[in-house]
Amino acid sequence: ERAEETQRMIREEGGEASVVQADVTNASECKRMVEAAAERYGRLDILDNNVGISRGETVVDVSEEQWDQIMNVNVKSVMLTSKYAIPKMIETGGGSIINISSITGMRALSRTPYSTSKGAIIALTKSMAADHGKDNIRVNTICPTFVNTPMVKEFFKDKKFMKRMFDNIPLGRFGTVSDVATAVVFLSSNASSMMTGSSLMIDGGWTAK
């Protein structure tokens, strides 16, 4: 339903969009998703890996099943979608892959499974950039601060926690969906043609403080 809402918004702005529902932890469904995009639009130029879930346990508290779930959704999905997207990009001369990580991949926030998965995305991005630069495929990471999305709404209920987070941001505000989307557009375009293997911090100065 949220994907269809986004599709409607894009069409109202005069753009073109279509929806495919898939489980990105499943290889065959990732392949089907990539093939659907290539079939509908004739080629594949950009992949934005923007799927994630969060967990707050320590290594002592987290169960094996919980650990596997967050690694599958946050990290394995990036590998699987890229596995099938990269050959399609090579067919047409290259492309751009943008992986959404988090400031917690750079600076842990006592959410061990989540922070670990986001750090893994950064390492995976660098490896993919090194492997596929020769194919004219750029791979970069965006690391946002807190952005008001459905996944983080639970945090906004904890006023003390959010004040502590807010006080860590020199620019004095949380991120917006537009802040991240604008960065995705930049990394998708030729304006960033010499950037690959990079981590773009959309954090209001958090990691610099």
Q: Which residues are catalytic?
A: 114
Question: How many Å is the Cα radius of gyration of the chain?
Answer: 17
Amino acid at 208: A
- The pair phi, psi for residue 101, each rounded to 5°, is -105, -130
CB 200 within 8 A of CB 141: yes
